[in-house]
Chains A and B, each alone.
Chain A
């Protein structure tokens, strides 16, 4: 029984933790999750997202070493994509985290998305909570290589890093909606490469367009705006340049994360009511759907699909018929 593992997980048993995480991933640990929830809220959860090859794993590796040097324990949840064809996956993030091997203060868990599209797996949030309850100081979530719209991590992490490598595209890419909007800290990794300064500049300009600033970066220099706007309490993301493989800029990155943590602790705190509302609705939606699905006969569904296939029935009407009370549903089977 997964729930039997709870006391061992709370006592810091790594094997029990690993086992329980598997149960959570398979969706069979409701009771354990309930029992562990009161023990959560201690770890600071940091999300690391960005395009494939931007250096997320190397950055996680370097950041973890930084925290370990400060005596903090670190757990890493690294997500890689599941094949849409076979359902299998290659989870390869550990390759770039070999420096962390053999350190009892580090726990690394790889997971596959198993069909989710938001950059995380459906169970990542629950796994993070279990790890939190197990007593780690920092939890780093590494998303799949993300494009523009995989923004799920911002709802699970308390501080979100968006990692860019030089050469991200022009500055219109930088003001498009999506992934850059969720950044609390923007990281230009591989900053020793050509174009790093341009990328950092494009990101800074993007931030200034959204946040009225007293001085703007224009023609290569900072210029004072005539009427400086009143300072706002809102968090303005920082842009940090790093070379993760050489540990450059990592202390600055950790400082930016800490600044954001302090800001968030003054503001909503780790458990943001908005994120909790979204979670509650999401879970309720899933539960209601499953409950409702049980009330339907497979025949009803097949008949509707067949009629949609024959172009006799449009999808909108099909849904209306599914949602109609049973007596009306039977009526729906008859041809009009």
Chain B
């Protein structure tokens, strides 16, 4: 029997075109032995939810640098719930002001990683999340 490989969707919702952070994370998670489904720029919440469903991912990682996280994150969460992926956690990276952390966590964001977070920390966080959420 094969060991469980974590599958992570990395997506950029909204209109900002800065995908370097998302690519750095994708690469780091690859090097941590995870399978990263990279969907690229300008994804709508519905596109993200549909990809998460088809790919049966364990975690959805969003990268937002536009400042629109308070609008986009709830929409992605709703879209995921609409396709019955209530149990798939969202993690968030990008430029997120600290005063938004608590409201975002209240919306069900499992983890928020700002600039300067070590990739090891993100890797360990996802591994914990996946093993505690094993389906």
Which chain A residue lies CB-closest to B58?
A22
A171 at the interface (CB under 8 A from B): no
Cα-based distance from A92 to B29 in the complex (angstroms): 14
Are A108 and B54 within 8 A (Cβ)? yes
B35 at the interface (CB under 8 A from A): yes
Are A18 and B54 within 8 A (Cβ)? yes
The listed residue (B29, B34, B39, B44) touching A94 by CB distance below 8 A is: B39
Q: Which of B45-53, B70-78, B89-97 is the interface stretch?
A: B45-53
Q: How large is the interface on B (under 10, 10 to 19, 20 to 34, 35 or more residues)?
A: 20 to 34
Contact pattern, B 19-34, Cβ under 8 Å of A = 1, otherwise 0: 0000000110111111
A14 at the interface (CB under 8 A from B): yes
Q: Which of B1-9, B102-110, B111-119 is the interface stretch?
A: B1-9
Are A90 and B39 within 8 A (Cβ)? no
**Least Cβ–Cβ distance between A247 and chain B, in angstroms:** 20
Are A88 and B30 within 8 A (Cβ)? yes
A322 at the interface (CB under 8 A from B): no
Are A94 and B30 within 8 A (Cβ)? no
Are B30 and A83 within 8 A (Cβ)? yes
Cα-based distance from A170 to B56 in the complex (angstroms): 43
B40 at the interface (CB under 8 A from A): yes
Most central of B32, B39, B84 by chain A CB within 10 Å: B39
Are A86 and B56 within 8 A (Cβ)? no
Q: How large is the interface on A (under 10, 10 to 19, 20 to 34, 35 or more residues)?
A: 20 to 34
Are A89 and B35 within 8 A (Cβ)? yes
Are A88 and B50 within 8 A (Cβ)? no
B55 at the interface (CB under 8 A from A): yes
A91 at the interface (CB under 8 A from B): yes
Given contacts A98-B40, A102-B50, contact A26 B56 (CB under 8 A): no
Are B35 and A91 within 8 A (Cβ)? yes
Are A88 and B36 within 8 A (Cβ)? yes
A40 at the interface (CB under 8 A from B): no
B129 at the interface (CB under 8 A from A): no
20 A–B pairs (Cβ distance < 8 Å), ordered by A: A15-B53, A21-B56, A22-B7, A26-B4, A86-B30, A86-B31, A86-B33, A87-B5, A88-B5, A88-B29, A88-B30, A88-B32, A91-B36, A91-B37, A94-B37, A101-B51, A108-B54, A110-B37, A110-B55, A114-B5
Q: What residues of chain B have their CB less than 8 Å away from a CB belonging to chain A?
A: 1-2, 4-5, 7, 26-27, 29-40, 43-44, 46-47, 50-51, 53-56, 83-85
